[in-house]
Structure 1
Amino acid sequence: MSHFILTYAYNDTPERAARRQEHLDHLAKLQAEGSLLLAGPLADLSGGIIVLAAPDAEAAQALIDQDPYTRHDVTKNRELKEWKITVGP
């Protein structure tokens, strides 16, 4: 299993508030399945970070593509990168 970090910024859209619960429900589902390790907004609320566990980049991208924030263009400047952990569990 590989680890991936998604960073993103927010678009200025009312969809952010409208889709928030769907987004949180999606993240909870991923966490229950073991695919989501960490997620949350940046302290200045300009964007967020999601840390995923997935077999490969394509599988990680598929998880991101299912997120209501992605599907409804709430986020922009999405960047998904594989993360090679050297210290930690």
Structure 2
Amino acid sequence: MTKYVMWGSYCEGVLEKREPYRKAHLDGLAKQKADGVLVTIGPTKDVTKVFGIYEAESEAAVRQLVESDPFWENGIWTEYEIKEWIQAF
């Protein structure tokens, strides 16, 4: 399968605004990890950006995962981009 990286941005006041959606968000990520599609994901230390690595059939499959996440649906993630990634090491 192909690897993809996802970079995204968080909304202002993310720590407070994410609370109602955080459990559903984390549960969904845990399922993606168990299914083998999510390699890793997390925020930058300053909680302004999110970075993830996916292993999926297509970029469209990754976009579907991102756009069905409660953080995207509720404006916690405000933008994102996905790039196919070639892992050198």
TM-score (norm 2): 0.88
Q: Deviations over 1:27-47 (max 9, x none)?
A: 001001001100111011112
Deviation >3 Å, runs of 4+: none
CA RMSD in angstroms, aligned pairs only: 1.3
Structure 2, unmatched stretches of 5+, are: none
Give % identity. Answer: 29
Q: Deviations over 1:43-70 (max 9, x none)?
A: 1111211111101111111111111111
In the TM superposition, residue 15 of structure 1 has moved relative to its aligned partner by 3.5
Q: Is the 8 A contact 1:15 1:72 kept in 2?
A: no
The secondary structure found in structure 2 opposite 1:77 is: strand
Structure 1, unmatched stretches of 5+, are: none
Amino acid at match of 1:57: E
TM-score (norm 1): 0.88
In the TM superposition, residue 73 of structure 1 has moved relative to its aligned partner by 1.4
The match for 1:47 is: 49
The match for 1:82 is: 84
